[in-house]
A and B are shown apart, each in its own frame.
Chain A
């Protein structure tokens, strides 16, 4: 029997991988988008686990909305990435350094 805390630990681990991935990633922006998705997956796992163990459906409904929003978010992210490639000819993190002061 898988207990609630197992799910929570799994999701915490995925969450941390996503978060750390964003901060130590210095090469590709696509990786950033993947890390953002990992964070959302961790949250979804949390919601579904809680929803199952509480016997309350609201959490699972929330997950549907998160999935939809995540799809929209990635669509916009990739569109911005395309524009970045057109402007700079590269999608490496280090091309985004012209704004500072």
Chain B
């Protein structure tokens, strides 16, 4: 099919959030150069403002009829808009928490905010990517900004080591993904997702074509699993989580997961949905391994960031199980799960950052001893978050697991659902350990919460919403389902 070159300014409105964000990145980068020492906070406020406006623009586009622009390489549909709104919201919350951390550890620099905005731009391109080229470019904008963001703590050798490991493994993952893309391009003759889909769902596909698609598919699945952090491609996750500055860990463990799921949906469901029987088997193995290893290895961790890394791995396993089902409701449950995960993870890292002081990281589980005596309110907030991660009703985390398991059982994967539940129960042990040290152990160290008011407020709202939305999850579940 020939694509005629067309340029109509009205079409640009479809990409308005991205265009606005890109322009504000350029402005913020320039403004930051001219700010004197006392006015560095302006960068922070400008960042929040541009994220807010971008989110508003994306919100306005919800309900817009599905449109494909830029020679079939950029799509706007409901999933893209809703994901973008969630990404903006999560990034804004992450920036509120980050500011406290950055000022405490004298890392407050304009580049930090510019790099975060750039990676958000990359994620928006990924969410809206409708050809393999746009998806790849979005992924690289995201990854390159994240590598730099980790290395922003120049003097910490742990952070540099984490950046290097993330860089090398991320580059391998991109290479594998690209190799898969080249195979898919070679057999289908197009980079466009809808044309690939038309090719793959052709009923008289020869066995040779199916073989080559499957060959490429394996590489694509490995690349995506690397980016999501699923076992056995999880080696970078614990090291990067532990080594990075906590505010960066918080950011890279939350928002990019939404983008990775969006890329998964674009490539494997929109593009190669017809190949579902082939890739769902791979996914099943990856998901079960992730849940098992994530739950068991986390038991032995003493560093809370490392423990949360393994907990992320097992959450990723649950998300992947949603895609194994192969039904629209299952995909909806997985989407719901990833949004809930982002919400919980933000609150958990928020509390770690809250207890940070100058020269003190609060990253050992023993640092939480006696938190209930020194700060009963935030101990309660941590309790809500941890119970939600463990999947205790009526927290939000329970419903996200429940919907996934429900879809698995109704799709006939009863054994897999049982295995997942068993490991979820095992993982409850290490979550409860944190609660035990907060409530039943005492420490001689005084815990002082020195965070500014805005952070305390947002963190409390974040944690309470986990409980409140958990009581009324219907609306959000319906929203997640309506995206497919």
Contact = CB atoms under 8 A, between A and B. Distances in A.
Interface string B149-169: 001001111101111110110
Interface stretch (B15-23, B235-243, B342-350, B432-440): B235-243
Nearest to A66: B178
Given A18-B175, A87-B160, A73 B168 contact: no
Interface stretch (B186-194, B257-265, B463-471): B186-194
A59 B162 CA distance: 34
B178 A40 contact: yes
Contact of B243 (A29, A50, A65, A99): A99
A89 B297 CA distance: 33
The secondary structure that dominates the A interface is helix
Interface string A14-30: 01001100100000010
Contacts of B163: 80, 83
Given A58-B191, A79-B151, A99-B242, A36 B136 contact: no
Nearest to B134: A65
A39 B182 contact: no
A46 B162 contact: no
Contacts of A18: 175
Interface string B176-216: 10110111011001110000000000000000000000000
Interface in B126-146: 132-133, 136-137, 140, 144
Interface string A64-80: 01100100110011011
Contacts of B140: 69, 72-73
B164 A96 contact: yes
A59 B181 CA distance: 10
Nearest to B187: A50
Given A39-B172, A77-B167, A83-B154, A15 B179 contact: yes
11 contacts: A36-B175, A39-B172, A54-B189, A62-B191, A76-B147, A77-B168, A80-B151, A80-B167, A99-B239, A101-B301, A101-B303
Interface of B: 132-133, 136-137, 140, 144, 147-148, 151, 154-158, 160-165, 167-168, 171-172, 175-176, 178-179, 181-183, 185-186, 189-191, 238-239, 242-243, 300-303, 306
Given A29-B164, A59-B185, 5 more contacts: A15-B175, A39-B176, A47-B185, A65-B136, A96-B165
